[in-house]
Structure 1
Amino acid sequence: MALSRRALLAQATAAATIAATPSVAAAAADTEPTTTTTLRGTIPPGAPDFVYVPVDIPPGVREMRVSYRYDKPPTPPGTPGNALDIGLFDQRGTALGGRGFRGWSGGARSEFFLRTDEATPGYLPGPLEPGRWHIALGPYTVAPQGLPYEITVVLAHSDYHRDPDRIGGTQTVVLADDLSRTAILAGLRAGRAYAAESSAVSLDFTAVGPRGAHAGIGERLRAGDPAAEVLVRLSVTGAEACDLRLVTDQGLAFTAPGATSLEWRTRPARASYVRAEVRHPAQAPPLPGAPAAFTNPIWLDS
């Protein structure tokens, strides 16, 4: 029995094979740290539920942007037209429900992006590891003449690996008990760290629960009750005029534009973690501004 694409997020079964081989056109400018690739193909009537279009990700990519379009020719009454869904799998494979799944927007969006610290809703932020990724196309219906599509992939490469940019412009701050190698490694393994654009930026991020329970970056706050109120505090120096943002497993939860501190209340029943972002003002709304700092989560346990 064919797998319904509506079960993409719920079932883990073998994926269908690719139904069309795309043509590729790539362009990269020496003066710009981006690479743009255009993938074109045509999905025939009767294609399987999923078509996997390969995309090779080189080392050093910090952001991936994908947009797509497809032809929608007129069809006679009662004849299905073209409708095409889209999603993404990384280098770990295309098994449904597997570790390689990075997101699915169906037909709701014509574009999406991923970075280590953020992604379009419906997609998972995280490292863009090198290897062969796959754009998953879901031909919901296909017109008799087929479904021509065009996908544009823009890869932004890390500026810190391009001459003459200097190495180490950003920094990782580890909250360690002391400056010994053992303590620093313990802090890193525990996730007690945040990234900042320079040594001028520093932050303090904590969560306080009932009866004085307290947790910092990378730690767990044991509130004792899913309905217990948790107070989250964030203060920042060296990043004036930036926007402070709190993100939970439910998405963006709170924003304080142009602030240097904030307080926000939540409950473990509403959020299993909260992390902080400090961002420069947006240059192309609704996309957020460039990050000045971001933290690992504080975990909220009931």
Structure 2
Amino acid sequence: MGADAWLRREGCFTPGTPDWAYVPIDVPPGIGVLEVRCAYDRSPGNSLDLGVFDPAGHGPGGAGFRGWSGGARDRFTIAAGHATPGYLPGPITPGRWHVALGPYTVAPHGLSWTLDVRLGAGAGVTPEPCPAPPRAAGRGAAWYRGDLHTHTVHSDGRRTPDELAAAAADAGLDFIASTEHNTPSANLVWGRHTRPGLLVIPGTEATTRDGHMLALGLPPGGWAEWRHRAADGALPGVAAGIRDGGGLAVAAHPHTTCLGCDWRFGYRDVDAVEVWNGPWGEDDEAALRTWDGLLRAGVRRPAVAGSDTHTPEQPVGSPQTVVWAEELSTSAVLAGIRAGRSYLAASRDIGVDLTVRADPAGEAAGPGRVLRLPPDTEVQARVEVGGVPYGEIALHTRDGPRVRSRGDGVVTWRGRAAELGYVRAEIRHAGGMAALTNPVFVEA
């Protein structure tokens, strides 16, 4: 078989088919371009994901991963010098490639599909990876504002990385996390698009059939395995791999209503929970209840927020995670998130300062800190809020809300250490949640 040959593969998925199918494509030596076009029966109830692996393999952790676009594209091209966003440029290695098909949903009558594959001539030089720097110019130890859930054209978003970086800078953010669905392709080019003073944390969103997980702080070419379900028992190993590299595994939008998006893995193996995803709604209220239930049960998983922006109509940084970090670097920001030294806010206009102390002269502890005190110690909690003039401020402990007040300003409350467990703040306004802090823990 010579170059510029077209191959066709056809098939049909029926209801109950496995989540993933791998269509073999034998590539001879001398091929410089691989082009794949996918057509399928788009009747109501049918949806098909698309990706590809090279001869290095498609097993768990897929050493041969060369790209993924899910349902966002029906075609892609890979060559040494370029690739469709979501896919990785590089040599077209001779051997057996596999086009990965994921029947996301299958109608009762089935899902028929056709692949047309072109093996073409071509040459080129593979571009060197250009990841974002692991640190940016910051303010030393300080509060830093960022968006931990973003998408570009490298998965199913409409912005380019350059457009997203510009929007983040305009929103006054210090950092964003790059979380494309199941592909690290954006992380290999972010260094060409970031701005002075803007940190880009490399990550992916592992889009499983039983929920989505943000993998934050991955190596630039790394990705988190997504081809598993809760019953497979693979999540502990996947999450451990993320942590071993210094990253965080975050349960994303655990109660959102899109098919396959709600979180079914439990929370033992994740490091944090995305309690607030995009505009505040009922799914976020449900996530808040779940998270507070974990806190009451003694399971400490910090809350985070992200816009999940896909389009310019979804503002980046709304909501945002505000983190106390020693510097503006990936490792320092993730350390602050891991420790719960953060709060969530609807915009950069909102600021929250929550402190808990054992006496007026004692050291003030903020979110993520632990106070260990005798049970009868009187504890003072204080929260100062700015930017929510018509809001309601509430202080919560393990027994629920303890005090409520309206408007900007300062709210204080006193209680016995034995009665608290933790103290956290919620600030609400007419649009829903305005801000939410992680807890200060009180052990008595």
Larger RCO of the pair (alpha carbons < 8 Å, separation 6+): 1
| TM-score, L = length of structure 2 | 0.34
Higher helix fraction: Structure 1 or Structure 2? Answer: 2
| TM-score, L = length of structure 1 | 0.48
Higher strand fraction: Structure 1 or Structure 2? Answer: 1
